[in-house]
Amino acid sequence: MRKLFGTDGVRGVANLEPMTSETAMQLGRAAAHLFMRRAGRHQIVIGKDTRISGYMLESALMAGICSMGVDVLLVGPMPTPAIAFLTRSLRADAGVVISASHNPYQDNGIKFFSNDGFKLPDEMEARIEELIVSKEISHLRPTADLIGKAYRIDDAEGRYIEFVKRSLPKDLDFQGLKLVVDCANGAAYKVAPKVLRELGAKVEVIGNEPDGMNINQDCGAVHPQQLQHAVRYHKADIGIALDGDADRAMFVCEQGTIIDGDHVMAALGLDMHQQGVLAKQTLVGTVMSNFGLELSMAKVGIKLVRTPVGDRYLLERMLAEGYNFGGEQSGHFVFLDHNTTGDGLVSALQMLSLMKRTKKPVSELAKAMSAVPQILLNVKVARKPDLKSVPDIDRAIRASEERLNGNGRVVVRYSGTEPLLRIMVEGERDTLIKEVAEHLAQIRGVSLERIAELTTANFDRTFRRVAQHQGSS
């Protein structure tokens, strides 16, 4: 059983274990030791988002890494995908990102990239844990002139901006497009507006005044309501919402409607297929991808393969089987032709490129798929026992699948980054899937009125009152 690493690095409440300066320093020491594989001086890149706790954790990581004889390259607040790129560009041994992504500012996290820009495999994370838990790392200490140094990389932002722009054809610009970008008061608050303006778009910006405590607060990909209002107010062609570390992007169409990740995947996947650049005519989604995506893509000759939730699992499948495009409902999209991890800015540019080339609005492009009704309920939990070890839940899931009679799906899983049990039900009949989802939630002793979130694909108005009630409680 892992003690430190979850599905996306180490994450928790800042200044409580494991997100303490003490543990961060040990993580830095263990990672530095693990990545010293070649001759000569060694370097590790450190980037962060805008959380106030980032200063503390950055200093602790830097101290730990330098204590092992490895130099640190500091780039300050930068998107997670920028660290993946910069690790490769600067020929560093590894990269570290200090961020809790879409979580509130009280949380923070630490995740690592290897020198090729990919997140660490499970076995390397396990080895870092072992070095710390066994205290083996405590006995490894270079001295005096062997201790590492820290350097600030002043041109990191410019390097990443040029890298992102290279994901587009040289002759393509966004002249004539008006957009709103919500930077979530996070890591992309500087680079995102610059990239979009340099490409010729008229840009209105919100969520670009971080104060250390407002990251993801009522803004960004997790809370796009402010963006919806701004798109309507400015009469923009599209709205782009990034999350705190800018590895995901959500979109709002010209009418002010949210376009979820499945519809974006369908539009971009169909375009790649038509251009002949979609590897093996296959999209990689997750178990949470709407069944409508699978049906719509099958009609045009595109296969959908599913993985567990999490961009690391998307990547593993893509690398293992030679696919080049995958994504999640949440707005994580991986374009392996452009970057080694999810990149919100690259995703935004691909969507804008599609709009510009086809001269179609986002609302029209989103019609590449038709969603089947889906309910997602998030239930707060104190513990995460194996679901198969809880007979009531296991029986309820099987009974729910029988009720759907092959015309729908049930997915019950824990969030890998938050204390939540996620219940997803989809099928042909709105009323039936609502009943099934509510029953599953009540197995946990939680009524609908206490559900943390409720979203729907096709019948939002039906349950809007429930969602509004929850938002006020």
Could you tell me the pTM of the whole model?
0.85
Kindly state the average pLDDT of the residues 401-407: 80
User: Residue 388: which domain range?
Assistant: 374-471
418 and 282 housed in the same domain: no
249 and 281 housed in the same domain: no
209 and 263 housed in the same domain: no
Question: Do the domain assignments include residue 160?
Answer: no
**Would you state the pLDDT for residue 469?**
29
How many structural domains comprise the chain?
4
Question: Do the domain assignments include residue 162?
Answer: no
Given 119, 154, 189, the domain boundary residue is 154
Asked if residue 412 lies in contact with residue 459, where contact means CB atoms within 8 angstroms, the answer is no
Asked if pLDDT for residue 406 goes beyond 90, the answer is: no
44 and 147 housed in the same domain: yes
246 and 271 housed in the same domain: no
Kindly state the average pLDDT of the residues 255-282: 97
Given 257, 274, 291, the domain boundary residue is 257
d(CA 181, CA 197): 11
Given 242, 257, 272, the domain boundary residue is 257
Q: Which of 11-20, 97-106, 270-279, 368-377 has the least mean pLDDT?
A: 368-377
The CATH number that applies at residue 10 is 3.40.120.10
218 and 335 housed in the same domain: no
41 and 144 housed in the same domain: yes
**If DSSP codes are grouped into helix, strand and coil, which group holds residue 5?**
strand
The phi, psi pair for 288, rounded to 5°, reads: -90, -10
d(CA 36, CA 227): 44
398 and 414 housed in the same domain: yes
Q: Which of 46-55, 68-77, 307-316, 354-363 has the least mean pLDDT?
A: 307-316
Question: Do the domain assignments include residue 164?
Answer: no
Question: Do the domain assignments include residue 146?
Answer: yes
1 — pLDDT class (breaks 50, 70, 90): low
124 and 176 housed in the same domain: no
CA dist list (Å): 256 to 44, 224, 334: 42, 10, 25
Question: Do the domain assignments include residue 268?
Answer: yes
Average pLDDT, the chain: 89
Beta strands in 328-441 (DSSP E): 333-335, 374-380, 408-414, 420-427
| Chain segment 316-367, per-residue pLDDT in tens | 999 999 999 999 999 999 999 999 999 999 999 999 999 999 999 999 999 9
Task: Name residue 11's beta-bridge partners.
Answer: 109
d(CA 96, CA 128): 13
Question: Do the domain assignments include residue 300?
Answer: yes
237 and 180 housed in the same domain: yes
Structure tokens at 10: 């180490």
| Chain segment 260-269, per-residue pLDDT in tens | 999 999 999 9
132 — pLDDT class (breaks 50, 70, 90): very high
More confident residue, 296 or 140: 296
411 and 277 housed in the same domain: no
List residues with catalytic annotation.
101
**Would you state the pLDDT for residue 274?**
97
403 and 309 housed in the same domain: no
Amino acid making up residue 394? D
Q: Element (H or E) spanning 194, and its range? A: helix 191-198
